[in-house]
Chain A
Amino acid sequence: MCSRVAERPEGRPLPEGASARESSFDTRVGLRVFSATACHLLSRDLEAPSPEGTQGSRPSSALCRADVAQQFQFAVRVIGSNFAPTVERDEFLVAEKIKKELIRQRREADAALFSELHRKLHSQGVLKNKWSILYLLLNLSEDPRRQANKVSNYATLFAQALPRDAHSTPYYYARPQTLPLNYQDRGTQAVQSSGSLGSSGISSISMCALGGPAPPPQPLLPGQSHQTLGVGDCLRQQLGSRLAWTLTANQPSSQTPPSKGTPNAVSRSMTRSRREGETGGAVEITEAALVRDILYVFQGIDGKNIKMSNTENCYKVEGKANLSKSLRDTAVRLAELGWLHNKIRKYTDQRSLDRSFGLVGQSFCAALHQELKEYYRLLSVLHSQLQLEDDQGVNLGLESSLTLRRLLVWTYDPKIRLKTLAALVDHCQGRKGGELASAVHAYTRTGDPYMRSLVQHILSLVSHPVLSFLYRWIYDGELEDTYHEFFVASDPTVKTDRLWHDKYTLRKSMIPSFMTMDQSRKVLLIGKSINFLHQVCHDQTPTTKMIAVTKSAEPPQDAADLFTDLENAFQGKIDAAYFETSKYLLDVLNKKYSLLDHMQAMRRYLLLGQGDFIRHLMDLLKPELVRPATTLYQHNLTGILETAVRATNAQFDSPEILRRLDVRLLEVSPGDTGWDVFSLDYHVDGPIATVFTRECMSHYLRVFNFLWRAKRMEYILTDIRKGHMCNAKLLRNMPELSGVLHQCHILASEMVHFIHQMQYYITFEVLECSWDELWNRVQQAQDLDHIIAAHEAFLDTITSRCLLDSGSRVLLNQLRAVFDQIIELQNAQDAIYRAALEELQRRLQFEEKKKQHEIEGQWGVTAAEEEEENRRIREFQESIPKMCSQLQILTHFYQGIVQQFLVLLTTSSDESLRFLSFRLDFNEHYKAREPRLRVSLGTRGRRSAHM
């Protein structure tokens, strides 16, 4: 067996072409040579003790033959696995390591000898793979002082089960559990496999870890500059410690093994050293291993010993690992960073695919990514630090080594950052757009300046899209909000005529919390005004012209620093834009569309402000309107209207207003006369229709109807009065009629008083007061909404004061009844007058006839004629009491109704109505008749108020 090896000439020239650099080493040749080595080793070692116990060794060596074969096979596999060397192929680096190792063993003389030998070796060009040989020798070197416990270590190692399944893949054998490959290999493998996971940040780190001599870590973050300091220290301290070693080497006390006498830090570094990893128990995890694991866990990758526990949703050190409690605790504390990282990463990964998440969400994700990138930078720095230590091999710079405690300190700040981010992510779950910005804003209210600046930074990124929406909106009136994130919502189905009222609304949930409700209302108004000008008023003035002042003052792009002084600049800008835009809009409406003129026209025509016109119109319309409603024709009435306009002061109004004036016939119900269906109308369209909406116009029509009716009552009473005046003289010689006529007068006067007071109330207390208020408010209005609100308030007031609202329906019914009584009186009086005048006519005829007969010289009257005359007179006189009683009934009804009305008025909650009751019953005429009115007004009002 051995002879075969011995036959080979040692100095045989090496085969060319076996490139030393190539890791794929010629397996066939290599195996043959190696088999020789293995045989040599095994046989020599086994047979060495045989001289001592020849008999005993025989059976045992035969027994072990199978084991030997297996070991051989296994060794061949290890060699044959194309397992690339992971160490740096640098002869000098290896030589340095050897020197360090020797120095560590306190063999400075040997170290000097070695460097001499190495120099010699280097000068000869025979060997190509010098580093390889040196490395091999280094790996095989033994510390002579530890020979003592070597056997026991081997024994414990061997106690571990060797892998029995020899048919597994070679790769598996390349790193079996018990194979004491140094840790570095495994670490690098893990890095390689992790690099394939594809996360950009992680792969960049693994690149960094694999790449040759680790680049000096750069100061990437201002907050982490202490790390660079650490590296610098490390180099300095290496020199220092080398000196220290040489100094202490002379002292006798230093002869004690460093693992015993030296302080804790030294022993820790010893555990970190590779040899300890080889000889120690495989299950025991060194701190170095934990540090490596932790660095992966930081990136959310399971380490060898620290794994994500899905059930408990946290990282745990594997239970069976043999680890001191403090290390375990520290590791778990550090692993929290990985958990936080995972959480943030999961959020951003989920959201980055979600298209509907919107711009705000995207910028939030971008901000998170930015933070994660910083975090990855830190990790890469840590990795390169670790790499640097590995390259230096034996760690002399004790202070600079990467320990769990050091990591704990270094990751303190990043941990706070990640914690804040994770909390943000939690808080922002399921939110988007302005809501998300509010959620982030809520986190800026923290007392910790560090956290606050972080969140503020994120907020400035998150709010950037919101602000760009905002500026587009308030400066251009454009709404490009594909994902419904902005707090102004637009309804595309709304037509331009309802643009102001319905098209744009505030999305309450999307208002960022740094905007007040008032601000957002203004923002809505600004954009709405611009759109209104463009679309409804067809005003194409560029917006820059409208609000030239503000825009030139500050470009809208500097969104980020805008939030630093939200209170002043932002508010000021919105206010300025609001003020300018609204002012411009009102100017356009007033000048181009003469909004205020139209408002006044409404008052003059629909609210009967133009007295001469209304009176004349009524005069002209009277013959038409007494006819049944079905026989009316709009064109006739329109003609009359035009005549009335031409004849009165209305003709001086602008044609623009008169053009809009029209007649309208309401729906006809059976029995209606023209009075019931006639109505004036005012056409509104274009921009002013925004103020005079359809509802407004219907209000106007109702009020007009009421006023028209009241006006007609006045008109009727005037007619009645006229009849009195005309007929008084005629009927003077019919003394029997005087009682009836007196009654008639009294009732008519009562009605006139009533109607006059009502008219006074309506004209002065309702219309004029409200109008004055409206006018003031319109003059002071800052935006169109103010005008609309004032106008609506005006309409509401006059509707309710004119008893047209639902609350005063009873009053209105009473009033209608009063009006009916007036019409009744008119009819009754007309009938009386007709009868009286007819009677008068007959009597005159009779007298005339009598005179004529006398002139003719005949008898004035014959008996028959006189009889006839007397009978007629008697009949007439008999009809007078009937008239009287009719009037009395009328009076009774009327007074009853008025009393009822007064009672209702006094119990009304409206003060002006209660005062109206005073005026109607100024001399307590009704109070005397109606017991319910006798109760004092104050108590009654109060009681009703309580009720």
Chain B
Amino acid sequence: MVSGSGAGALASAAANLNAVRETMDVNLEISRILNTGLDMETLSICVRLCEQGINPEALSSSIKELRKVTEALKAPENMTSYLETS
């Protein structure tokens, strides 16, 4: 009984893992279609956050904000690097 249950648990875990992977693939594909610019890692984190019940609006807005900030930080860097290379 115990071993059976353990084997069953194992099998179910494997099936679960499979399902999760598939799900993530689908999510990634959607993300690609929608051109979100999220890579696999970020996406998985976001998915997990969403499963935790985070407010997607807040998350999306903060991600955008962070992106903008990094963009802005990058812009002067690019400028300087461009100047240096030239």
Contact = CB atoms under 8 A, between A and B. Distances in A.
Interface size classification for chain B: 35 or more
Nearest to A36: B45
Contacts of B49: 30, 33-34, 37
Contacts of B63: 37, 41, 140
Contacts of A134: 30
Contacts of B38: 137, 140
A391 interface: no
A648 B17 CA distance: 140
B34 A37 contact: no
B26 A121 contact: yes
Interface string A129-159: 1001111111111111000000100110110
A185 B64 CA distance: 17
A25 B55 contact: yes
A23 B58 CA distance: 11
A139 B67 CA distance: 13
A144 B70 contact: no
Contacts of B24: 10-11
A554 B38 CA distance: 83
A61 B74 CA distance: 9
B48 A85 contact: no
B54 A30 contact: yes
A132 B27 contact: no
A75 B65 contact: yes
Given A30-B52, A79-B62, A129-B50, A45 B70 contact: yes
Interface residues of A, number: 93
Given A53-B85, A83-B58, A113-B33, A46 B70 contact: yes
Q: Is the interface of B mostly helix, strand, loop or mixed?
A: helix
A120 B42 contact: no
A244 interface: no
Contacts of B74: 45-46, 48-49
A37 B42 contact: yes
A864 interface: no
B68 to A, nearest CB: 5
B35 A141 contact: yes
B42 A139 contact: no
B80 A53 contact: yes
Contact of B69 (A5, A25, A49, A158): A158
Interface string A80-101: 0101111100000000001001
A518 interface: no
B53 A18 contact: yes
Contacts of A48: 74
Interface string B59-86: 1111111111111111111101100110
B47 A56 contact: no
Nearest to A23: B55
Contacts of B64: 139-140, 180, 278
A155 B75 contact: yes
Interface of B: 16-17, 19-24, 26-27, 29-31, 33-38, 41-42, 44-78, 80-81, 84-85
16 contacts: A25-B55, A33-B52, A34-B49, A37-B46, A45-B66, A48-B74, A53-B77, A78-B62, A117-B33, A118-B30, A121-B26, A124-B19, A135-B60, A137-B38, A139-B56, A142-B34
